[in-house]
Amino acid sequence: MSRISLVAGNWKMNRTAAEARELVSTMSAKLREIANVEKVVCPPFIAIPALAALLEGSGIGLGAQNLHWEAKGAFTGEVSTDMIKEFCQYVIIGHSERRAYFGETDESVNRKLHAAMKAGLTPIVCVGETLDQYESGKTAEVVRRQISAGLAGIDSAAAARIVVAYEPVWAIGTGKASSGENANHVHQDVIRPALAELLGAENAQAIRILYGGSVTASNAAEFFAYPDIDGALVGGASLKPDEFVAITKAAVRS
Ligand code: PGA
């Protein structure tokens, strides 16, 4: 199994373009020294062009936090894959905040995923159960459905490029991370089998599955010690340069 770890920072709606430049400048030299980990920052759309110029040739990737599936046209406020592709290599799809506040569904996730794949972007598809679903033992059922509906109809020839992020909603921004054991269990016993059913065993092995939800410099190593946790999608801690660098270092596989 040769899955190179990936650590992505999801800045959410934080940092102006000027602040984004400052944040990246503070950490890019340290990040680029860390070999054998794919490093990605996902700032707000409006900061993307400035960061693209700053990160050119650094080996640090750039991602968007959303996309629209149509190529162009009368969709006020939306951003297409061609616009994203000009600057970015990655795109986050179906983050739980988009599902909760902006009406994102498994169906829209699926449309966005098809558009991202067609454009040659690396999609980071988010799945995860709410606290209610977790407490009523529905994690496997919910995550399985999000995978099978969200990834439906994807051509298995390119599927290895997909990245899945398991982000239990109860762990996002709460400071209450999942245990490494629980996250690894969901990756290994729920997500990978669901991917195998849809895309074949070989693709399921190749696809990176990240954990997200209150990852910090102090708990990152616990997650990365598990064989089925291939990296992290980091929110709050990705806005703190020392934390993000430390998390990325912890993701290096020996
Ligand atoms: P958090 O967010 O690290 O602040 O919990 C993770 C995410 O929402 O991607």
**What pLDDT, in 10s, does the model give residues 202-254?**
999 999 999 999 999 999 999 999 999 999 999 999 999 999 999 999 999 86
Task: Catalogue all structural domains in the chain, each as residue range(s) with its CATH number.
Answer: 5-250 (3.20.20.70)
**What pLDDT, in 10s, does the model give residues 4-63?**
999 999 999 999 999 999 999 999 999 999 999 999 999 999 999 999 999 999 999 999
**What pLDDT, in 10s, does the model give residues 78-115?**
999 999 999 999 999 999 999 999 999 999 999 999 99
Q: Is the CB of 124 under 6 A from ligand 1?
A: no
Residue showing tokens 């997650």: 223
Is residue 167 among the annotated active site residues? yes
* 74 contact partners, CB below 8 Å, separation of at least 6: none
**What pLDDT, in 10s, does the model give residues 152-196?**
999 999 999 999 999 999 999 999 999 999 999 999 999 999 999
Q: Is the CB of 234 under 6 A from ligand 1?
A: yes
pTM for this prediction:
0.98
Residue showing tokens 């400071």: 175
Phi-psi region of 231 (alpha: psi -120 to 50; beta: other; left: phi over 0): left
Residue nearest to atom 1 of ligand 1 (CA): 235
Helices (H), 151-251: 180-186, 192-199, 201-206, 220-224, 241-250
Residue nearest to atom 6 of ligand 1 (CA): 235
Task: Find out whether 228 and 205 touch, Cβ atoms under 8 Å.
Answer: no
Residue nearest to atom 3 of ligand 1 (CA): 235
